[in-house]
Structure 1
């Protein structure tokens, strides 16, 4: 089975007011050309948007409740081009496979799930294609890697890339517990 690996480098734009700062990853992904992931590409109240654009891929955006600089899976909305895509997940499932994010894009079923205990290792799956994503490094040396197994197309690459700019820690039980306590403490801070 065919396997390829692409690497995107982390970038930051901290010009202007801190609410206008942008972060993300950019690089070249073989035949798919240049890819750029931007977060937050937009803000709508308490919701952030991550967007991916590139030479040979469709524009994909993910909107969710703000968690740091990235959108979270809470109140998630996904758009591929001008099409709104329904995103589903079972937040009460006990296994990583059960907690996977499910979506249907271009007539194909996708699952995005945690492959490790930490929130750095994920995989986007559909029939015949697996894209394993990972984030490594700190600061200027931070990178996102995509290992593609199978015949991936532009939609597959774009979906995997946009998810790198989304806070997906709720795909593991431990991450969901940490996120719950963090939200609770932030909520209690409102009253101080």
Structure 2
């Protein structure tokens, strides 16, 4: 089975107004060329948008309810090559596999799931291809590593890359509880 590993370095642009700051990952992924993940590219009230661009990758974006600087899975909208993609997940499932984000892109079924209790390890899986994503480090030394198993194409890599700029804590039970408590506390602040 084919196996390739690509690493993207974290970057940030804190110039200008605080609401204009952007963050992300960038680097080169072998035959796919340059890849750049940027978040938040756009802010629409309580919604943020993450975008992926690259030499060979289709334009991919993910918008959702803002959670920190990233969009969350709550009210998430995915677009690949300008086409809207329907997202499905069972937020009441007890296992990580049951809580996986499911989507159909270009006629292929994908699952994006947590592979550990921590929010740093994820995997994008479709028939015959798996892309394992790991984020590690801190500050300027933060990195995102993609381990590609199988004959992946540009769409597969674009989907895995855009999810690095999305808050996916809800893919684990513990992360879902923390996200719920955080949203509840933020909601209560409105009434003070």
Aligned twin of 2:121: 121
Task: Tell me how far 1:143 sits from its aligned partner.
Answer: 0.2
Map of 1:161 onto structure 2? 161
TM-score by length of 2: 0.99
SS of corresponding position for 1:97: coil
Match of 2:135 in 1: 135
Residue matched to 1:53: 53
1:98 aligns with 2:102: no
Residue of structure 1 equivalent to 2:77: 77
> Deviation above 2 Å: which 4+ runs of structure 1?
none
Distance in 1 between the 2:130 and 2:185 partners?
A: 37
Number of equivalenced pairs:
192
Deviations 1:72-110 (A, max 9, x none): 000010000110000110000000000000000010000
TM-score (norm 1): 0.99
Cα deviation 1:125-165 (Å, max 9, x = unaligned): 00000000010000000000000000000000000000000
After TM superposition, give the deviation of residue 44 of structure 1 in Å: 1.1
Q: Specify every segment of 5 or more residues in structure 1 that has no aligned partner in the other structure, as ranges.
A: none
Residue 99 of structure 1: SS of its match in structure 2? coil
Residue deviations 1:41-80 (CA, integer Å, cap 9, x gap): 1111110000000001101000000000000000010000
